[in-house]
A and B are shown apart, each in its own frame.
Chain A
């Protein structure tokens, strides 16, 4: 294993991944220190359970360790890949345990994400906190569906069943919500670019 002298707090993620592929545990722990709050926060957001979120966080970083070769820098950002792995791992855990909280609880939790304090350390994260705020501009019934679909991994038919809504209503609301969110996001990003 390489010595720790090659690592420092600003070592780029891509470089860390190279060390991780070579079996450098110190590099993985630097990577963990940098991204664990995003991974744990997302897992907590999906599972609503601190213990399960811890397990998913650990599983996610073990996947990074064991499957580092699966990340291809040409196909996307490392943090996006990491959080996609996190979300899928959390949703898989959620489905296995069949822990489907009451929809009202999920909505309350979804809203609460807007009021939580968090670190701001990357432009991408800042942009996405903007996205979190844009949810508040959607009609509540649309925002509800978007958040359930994304964070709980629920499909059209699962949403319809859980919410006791006609399937067509679910499809329309989800589509309209996402269309509006995309427009709002694009407008906000454009404004920031102009500013």
Chain B
């Protein structure tokens, strides 16, 4: 169905009330419907027409698969470490999800009086022992919880480093590269600079930073790529205590096509646009 922008008929009001026209209208709405972007009356129209329009039903399966894939297209970002602890704290009051079948409580045999059980004949000693046991249990739980979170974070970090190293090796094997320098800017130190290693038509490049001011744990450096006054993020990186950092850039265009680049400190996770003066920058 060929239509020009601005001239598309209202999907909820088919021009002529024939089954063919209805199916054409439904088919045209399927891509947006699969994404959840149809308005309520369009949604009703699609739901009403699907049963009688096999082509539309087949298209819906295709577009639903596409929409499902789009969930994975957002870049992964490491969640802040404290979030795992917050989640665990939120779980603690809930011993099990609702609906979890409770295990049958066993009726314990009454212990013979004697030994530790005699503590209960002295209430204050009994309470003290119970409190001590509770304290030990809480301490133990906290220890293992923290240990678990540490290991999970280490695993995530190692996976990330392995992937970056693999990509780095692939990149370095790629061949002849050009070199550009991003010089210190108002937000940096006099010794701040970054070297961009790239092939003009390639979308991947390496940025070596040195002398950048170390950041607090809740900050990262963000690279900005500018072309025709349109700015995009080129990636996030951190520097060590000496101000050294490395970023493997994966840009949507060849690196040679950008007019300007700059690096700014941003909150962890990055920002939609720069929120601080650049520490290094360059115009090409």
Contacts and interface: CB of A to CB of B under 8 A. Distances in A.
The judgment on whether A and B are partners is yes
Interface of A: 1, 9, 20-23, 25-26, 28-30, 32-33, 36-42, 44-45, 48, 50, 53-54, 57-58, 61-62, 65-69, 76-77, 79-80, 83-84, 86-87, 101, 105, 108-109, 111-121, 124-125, 127-129, 131-133, 135-136, 146, 149-151, 153-157, 159, 166, 168-169, 171-175, 178-179, 181-182, 185
A37 B79 contact: yes
B252 A114 contact: yes
A128 to B, nearest CB: 3
B32 interface: yes
20 contacts: A20-B97, A21-B97, A29-B87, A29-B88, A33-B156, A36-B78, A37-B77, A40-B76, A40-B77, A44-B269, A50-B269, A80-B68, A105-B273, A108-B272, A117-B235, A119-B76, A128-B73, A150-B67, A156-B38, A166-B6
B62 A131 contact: no
A115 B5 contact: no
Task: Tell which of B99, B225, B248 has the most Cβ of chain A within 10 Å.
Answer: B99
Closest CB pairs A-B (n = 8):
A23-B96, A128-B72, A112-B233, A178-B31, A33-B152, A83-B71, A168-B8, A40-B79
Contact of B78 (A32, A40, A45, A69): A40
Interface residues of B, number: 80
Given A33-B156, A37-B78, A115-B249, A182 B163 contact: no
Contacts of B156: 33, 37, 119
Contact of A66 (B67, B72, B73, B97): B97
A101 B143 CA distance: 42
Interface string B48-92: 000000000000001100111111111111111001101110110
Contact of B98 (A33, A66, A182): A66
Contact of A58 (B34, B86, B273): B86
B250 interface: yes
B5 A166 contact: yes
Given A25-B88, A157-B39, A115 B74 contact: no
B277 interface: no
Contact of B273 (A76, A108, A114, A150): A108
Interface string B94-123: 111111100000000000000000000000
B252 A58 contact: no
B225 to A, nearest CB: 7
A115 B96 contact: no
Max chain B C-beta neighbours (<10 A), residue from A20, A33, A68: A33
Contacts of B273: 105, 108
Chain B's interface: helix, strand, loop or mixed, by majority?
mixed
Contacts of A172: 3-6, 8
B155 A33 contact: yes
> Main SS of the interface on chain A?
helix
A131 B18 CA distance: 37
B212 interface: no
B248 to A, nearest CB: 6
A127 B88 CA distance: 32
Nearest to B86: A58
Contact of A168 (B7, B42, B77): B7
Interface in B263-284: 267-270, 272-273
Contact of A127 (B35, B38, B69): B69
B209 interface: no
Nearest to B8: A168
B47 interface: no
A84 B234 CA distance: 27
A41 B3 contact: no
Question: B31, B37, B231 — which one has the most chain A CB atoms within 10 A of its CB?
Answer: B37
Contact of A42 (B71, B90, B232, B272): B71
Contacts of B5: 166, 168-169, 172-173
Contacts of B234: 115
